[in-house]
Structure 1
Amino acid sequence: MPDDQIRFLIVDDIQENMIALEALLRRDGLRIDFAGSATEALEMMLVNDYALAFLDVQMPEIDGYELAELMRGAERTRGVPIIFVTAADRDERRRFRGYEAGAVDYIFKPLDPLILRSKAEVFFRIGRQARELERQRDEMRVLAHHRDVAISRLKAHADNSPLALVECDRDLTIRSWSQGAERMFGVSAEQMLGQTIGQHRWLASDACTVLQGWIDNGTSAPRHSTEMTATRNDGESIHCEVFGSILRDPTDGNLSLSLQMLDVTERRRAEEVRSLLIGELNHRIKNTLANVQAIARQTLRQADNIDDFEQVFIGRLLALSRAHSILSDVTWTSAPLDHLIDEQIRAGTLDAMRLVRKGPKVQLSPENTLRLALSLHELGTNAAKYGALSVPGGVVDLSWKTVGQSLVLKWEERGGPTVSPPARTGFGMTLIHASAGGEEDTVQADWRETGVIWTITLPVGVETLKTKTAAKPVENIRGPMKRSELGGSRVLVVEDEPLVALDISHELKAAGALSVNIARTIGQALQAIEHSDIDVALLDGNLSGERVDEVAFALSRRAIPFCFVSGYGRQHLPQDFQDAPIIEKPFRADALLPVLNELIRS
């Protein structure tokens, strides 16, 4: 290619001399330029690189010697080799002047072609070598640039990486200690370089033995991994995942060990907490199921008929569910007693207008919350059936106080019918007596003619807050329990639990629904909304892990009223439908049907 050609420059004021010289020098890979004067020659040398310049000694204005001196005075042209071409006598003084001006040789006219070509060949090869060296130099510069960039990137990655990068020789002497290692272990590179792995005691002796075994096995295994406990400079223990690579130096065959260490202390702690939480969750779920089983069995034993069993059992189950909801809101730590009473009012078990309550603000442990929720439900239900709340003028005084570390809660009925101790102790009475955890003499009943007085003492699991104030009354959200008819409505039930869907379907058909369409997936729900006639819909808050926003939007587009039926709270349901009613699982039929009727009428 032209750019790879070697350039010679011929400077002569006679055109024929330049043509003749060029004819003798012509060869592949050589390009010859001509300059008719010193000025033209200097201009060309500022643009091109020349491996050799032939200068005619005798030229008008500026002769060859003066041109050579000008060339030596400029940085760019100083290194260009010069051969003088002259027809003058071989005067030693002239020759000395030429060498003094920077010439490397003389050629005398008439030219000897063999001598000319031989001398030109030397400089042609030198030019080729210089060009090759320049090419290699440029390549090396590019390689060096890429190397420097790669090293900078690797260093940046190593410095910013969460990994601690440590390199050791065969004797486990530390040769490299990254900034990640400095951050992880709190020890600087200056302190660690030159020490053996176990010298600073940041790794235990058994860990050092493992690493030494990796090196002793050579490169038989390309990659090693293990888990170790390391010690920070401040004495804190951290758990690490360690990955090791054995490298062999190709020049001397020496082995080295490259370690990448990841601090997984937080992950291990999280795994331990998760395991603990799963165990606790399993324990609570099984305890809850055992409680439900006990409630079902005891209620069934004492129920006069199936309708009585259903009403009592569901009431107790809902009381347990509401207590669970309260505890979920406080992440199963401690729940306010006021909230427990408010839930009984919202459920309709207690009448806010006929309840007088007073006491300090206290927090109850999860165990006390669950037991007292069932007790308050039983007290309210009994008062509504046989006691003060069974007649218009009856009132319940609910007060509590703290005595040392204990809470003493007093339930006093007045203004109701004359009462007397029951002939037999039913399961409801057993639940009330169990509200203090089965402790003896912690639950007492005083059966006065004017009304029963219950005194319940919780000896443990009570925390008193500083502020003392009477709780504000809470309005009943649900009115009197009564069934409602659906009047031939067509209902879509979007529910992925088959048993729950079946139970809802039976309740809806019993209430007069014309048809009940059950959809268990998002696709089935969208298909039913698109192609079926629907008057109202019940929408679960989650279908097998999938959000139901798409179904809610489809119902809204077709102007189909719907409510959510879910165990989730409002914050976990589609946020674009804040006005949609929520029926929390588990639920009673007399809580479901009025909501549906209201949706149909709206």
Structure 2
Amino acid sequence: MPDDNIRFLIVDDIRENMIALEALLRRDGLQVDFANSASEALELMLVHDYALAFLDVQMPETDGYELAELMRGAERTRGVPIIFVTAADRDERRRFRGYEAGAVDYIFKPLDPVVLKSKAEVFFRIGEQARDLERQRDEMRVLAHHRDVAISRLKAHADNSPLALIECDRELTIRSWSMGAERIFSRSAVQMLGHHVCDEGWLSDDAASVLRGWVERGKSEPRHSAEFPAHRGDGKQIHCEVYGSILQDPSDGNLSLSLQILDVTERRHAEEVRNLLVGELNHRIKNTLANVQAIARQTLRQSEDLDGFGQRFAGRLQALARAHSILSDATWSSAPLDQIINEQIRAGTLDAARLVRSGPRVQLSPENTLRLALSLHELGTNAAKYGALSVPSGRVVLSWKVQGDHLHLRWEEQGGPAVTPPARTGFGTTLIRASAGGDDDTVRAEWLAAGVVWTIILPVETNLDDQPEPCPALEPVDRANRVRELSGSHVLVIEDEPLVAMDISHELKAAGASTVDIARTISQALEAIERSGFDVALLDGNLSGEPVDQIATALTRRAIPFCFVSGYGRQHLPQNFQDTPVVEKPFRTDALLPVLSELMKS
């Protein structure tokens, strides 16, 4: 029988009596158990729940009355209904004792089947109801548990949510105020509950009018959204995204407004900063292009031939690019003077072995960084062509000091050829004067016989201290080996900008490369690497927004030496190729060719 059957218990020391009684009670959904003694009956009642117990009055050892008293003394069996079964005379004293022991009825032998079944039916129905009620109770207990768990989860989500969850009635009186609302608005639930949304000054009248309009439109528009300012408890204004849902109570039809509010102050600030940065970026790009245009025009006007123009223009453009790299690393805030000088040494404009420098650590603004980089490039180039750096015995003494809020920089050439003032002012001199502001008070050149001396005065961003900063040792650049032939080599150029690829290809062929293949996408590059053998490859740091790690891996697998040619810094290039040479854009040909030559020799 299934476990949910109704159970009756028959207790009698004579088995035949129990079988006869069970035969009269038998029906679907009923399980009848037998017990030969009081102890056996008690053991069964500890295991099963019974809707009715038939107790024989006259049993050896413990009779039915005593068993009933034992049942009433135990919590588990106290509620089991008892019907005494007896063959004795209808003695009122016995009957009274039975009722006193907890019996609900008596039946007498011989048994009347109709009476027995009608009485048993009552307790069977009561047992079914009790079983159904117990099942419902268990189901309700499970449902209550799930409800409590769900409520706990919802409360935990609400408490930890970045949203402020607020419930208002149709009059916009606050009925619920979450911990998220407490965090965002710095106002406690005790302070806000029961108050109108306009109270306490956290929401403006205009914002309240928007919420009131949502409620007035009712269920016709159940969901709404808006943005408006609000005020924290400390008076600080914040900007909020507000999402509203109109709810209706099914019992009385009253409307309520559920608000989910997100503090987007930081996002709005970030958007403002982004817009400002985009505008600043556009301004800087246009200024940079205007500077490049001016440098190109002025260099062209004062160049006697195209080769001279190309070298001078490329050098000036490279100086500008290196200054941009310094400022990019410093997020365009300021740049140290020593780093500007070091970049000129790395570019080969200055010779570290013949440069003596001294001065305190200072920071220059972005504008002055770009200007001084161009000025140092011009000074170094002129010194290498006509001044102290044009002879082995010459040197440059570069010193600076801070006076007030200005930097006084002195460039002094020593040990070079005799100096005479130039017959005309070249673009280099003009560029130096223009970079420092163009006034005679800020730039001064002294054409001494022992060597030219330049004094440049610039506003200083920060004077870090008065002690000179130790300058890192930089390897001098071998200017005699800056350009080397590629002599019939097969080169792969992986570059997505057509003009840049065309320019690189032209320079490589002019340097002796027999074949230059160009790949503009990752798939083209991978196909070219697998299809042909190359002596060397040039790899852009990014192709149409895609990283180039797999191309670098493919080149390494095919043992093709390569270098990166990129405007990105080392930190933005494939991290597994930290030892691969990098040539920064815009590049100078005499800086690129030695790198390729060394790669082909390795």
TM-score, with length taken from structure 1? 0.95
Larger mean CA deviation between 137-146 and 306-315 belongs to 306-315
Q: Are 1:51 and 1:126, in contact at CA under 8 Å, matched by a contact in 2?
A: yes
Deviation for aligned residue 1:461: 4.0
Partner of 2:399: 399
Partner of 1:499: 499
Show CA shifts across 1:490-537 (max 9, x none): 212222222111111111112121222222222222222222111111
SS of equivalent residue, structure 1 residue 340: helix
Alignment CA distance shift 1:521-1:116 (3 Å)? same
Show CA shifts across 1:573-598 (max 9, x none): 22332222221111111111111111
Pairing 1:442-457 to 2, within 5 Å after superposition = 442-457=442-457
Q: Distance in 1 between matches of 2:116 and 2:372?
A: 119
Alignment CA distance shift 1:3-1:306 (3 Å)? same
Pairing 1:168-183 to 2, within 5 Å after superposition = 168-183=168-183
Q: Are 2:407 and 2:460, in contact at CA under 8 Å, matched by a contact in 1?
A: no
Q: Distance in 2 between matches of 1:388 and 1:42?
A: 119
Larger mean CA deviation between 383-392 and 276-285 belongs to 383-392
Larger mean CA deviation between 17-26 and 374-383 belongs to 17-26
Partner of 1:467: 466
Partner of 1:99: 99
Partner of 1:336: 336
Show CA shifts across 1:202-246 (max 9, x none): 111211111122112112222111112221112222222111111
SS of equivalent residue, structure 1 residue 210: helix
Partner of 1:199: 199
Pairing 1:247-258 to 2, within 5 Å after superposition = 247-258=247-258
Alignment CA distance shift 1:43-1:423 (3 Å)? same
2:113 maps to 1:113: yes
- The residue identity in structure 2 corresponding to 1:111 is L
Q: Distance in 2 between matches of 1:471 and 1:197?
A: 64
Larger mean CA deviation between 261-270 and 387-396 belongs to 387-396
- The residue identity in structure 1 corresponding to 2:518 is I
Q: Are 2:351 and 2:477, in contact at CA under 8 Å, matched by a contact in 1?
A: no
- The residue identity in structure 1 corresponding to 2:497 is E
Q: Are 1:12 and 1:37, in contact at CA under 8 Å, matched by a contact in 2?
A: yes
Task: State how many pairs are aligned.
Answer: 601
- The residue identity in structure 2 corresponding to 1:468 is Q
Identical pairs, percent:
77
2:121 maps to 1:153: no
Q: Distance in 2 between matches of 1:60 and 1:303?
A: 135
Q: Distance in 1 between matches of 2:394 and 2:21?
A: 135
Q: Are 2:482 and 2:593, in contact at CA under 8 Å, matched by a contact in 1?
A: no
Pairing 1:71-90 to 2, within 5 Å after superposition = 71-90=71-90
Q: Are 1:478 and 1:591, in contact at CA under 8 Å, matched by a contact in 2?
A: no
Q: Are 1:56 and 1:86, in contact at CA under 8 Å, matched by a contact in 2?
A: yes
Q: Distance in 2 between matches of 1:357 and 1:12?
A: 118
Q: Are 1:357 and 1:470, in contact at CA under 8 Å, matched by a contact in 2?
A: no
Partner of 2:165: 165
Show CA shifts across 1:399-455 (max 9, x none): 333333222223333443444433333322221110222335322233344433332
Show CA shifts across 1:55-94 (max 9, x none): 2222233222222222212222211111122222222111
In the alignment, structure 1 segments of 5+ residues that lack a partner are none
Alignment CA distance shift 1:381-1:81 (3 Å)? same
Larger mean CA deviation between 149-158 and 569-578 belongs to 569-578
Q: Give the 4+ runs in structure 1 shifted more than 6 A.
A: none
Q: Distance in 2 between matches of 1:60 and 1:400?
A: 122
Show CA shifts across 1:521-567 (max 9, x none): 22222222222111111122222222222222222222222212111
Pairing 1:207-218 to 2, within 5 Å after superposition = 207-218=207-218
Q: Distance in 2 between matches of 1:361 and 1:36?
A: 107
- The residue identity in structure 1 corresponding to 2:128 is R
Q: Distance in 2 between matches of 1:354 and 1:65?
A: 123
Deviation for aligned residue 1:248: 0.8
- The residue identity in structure 2 corresponding to 1:381 is T
Deviation for aligned residue 1:112: 2.3
Q: Are 1:338 and 1:471, in contact at CA under 8 Å, matched by a contact in 2?
A: no
Pairing 1:354-433 to 2, within 5 Å after superposition = 354-433=354-433
TM-score, with length taken from structure 2? 0.95
- The residue identity in structure 2 corresponding to 1:469 is P
SS of equivalent residue, structure 1 residue 133: helix
Larger mean CA deviation between 153-162 and 20-29 belongs to 20-29
Q: Distance in 1 between matches of 2:414 and 2:13?
A: 137
Q: Distance in 1 between matches of 2:530 and 2:575?
A: 23
- The residue identity in structure 2 corresponding to 1:15 is R
SS of equivalent residue, structure 1 residue 217: helix
Q: Distance in 2 between matches of 1:410 and 1:8?
A: 114
Alignment CA distance shift 1:336-1:39 (3 Å)? closer
2:581 maps to 1:577: no
Q: Distance in 2 between matches of 1:446 and 1:10?
A: 129
Q: Distance in 2 between matches of 1:463 and 1:10?
A: 103
SS of equivalent residue, structure 1 residue 4: coil
2:511 maps to 1:511: yes
Q: Are 1:335 and 1:363, in contact at CA under 8 Å, matched by a contact in 2?
A: yes
Deviation for aligned residue 1:470: 7.1
Alignment CA distance shift 1:395-1:28 (3 Å)? closer
Q: Are 1:346 and 1:478, in contact at CA under 8 Å, matched by a contact in 2?
A: no
Alignment CA distance shift 1:60-1:399 (3 Å)? closer
Pairing 1:542-557 to 2, within 5 Å after superposition = 542-557=542-557
Q: Are 1:347 and 1:478, in contact at CA under 8 Å, matched by a contact in 2?
A: no
In the alignment, structure 2 segments of 5+ residues that lack a partner are none
Q: Distance in 2 between matches of 1:148 and 1:368?
A: 67
- The residue identity in structure 2 corresponding to 1:576 is N
Q: Are 2:362 and 2:460, in contact at CA under 8 Å, matched by a contact in 1?
A: no
Q: Distance in 1 between matches of 2:359 and 2:126?
A: 107
Show CA shifts across 1:361-413 (max 9, x none): 32221111111211222222222223333334433333333333222223333
2:326 maps to 1:326: yes
Deviation for aligned residue 1:166: 1.1
- The residue identity in structure 2 corresponding to 1:524 is Q
Q: Distance in 2 between matches of 1:8 and 1:344?
A: 104
2:490 maps to 1:486: no
Show CA shifts across 1:241-289 (max 9, x none): 1111111111111111111111111111111111111111111111001
SS of equivalent residue, structure 2 residue 119: helix
In angstroms, what is the RMSD of aligned CA positions?
A: 2.0
Partner of 2:222: 222
- The residue identity in structure 2 corresponding to 1:146 is H
Larger mean CA deviation between 407-416 and 240-249 belongs to 407-416
Alignment CA distance shift 1:479-1:59 (3 Å)? same
- The residue identity in structure 2 corresponding to 1:133 is L
Q: Distance in 2 between matches of 1:220 and 1:25?
A: 63
2:181 maps to 1:185: no
Q: Are 2:481 and 2:594, in contact at CA under 8 Å, matched by a contact in 1?
A: no
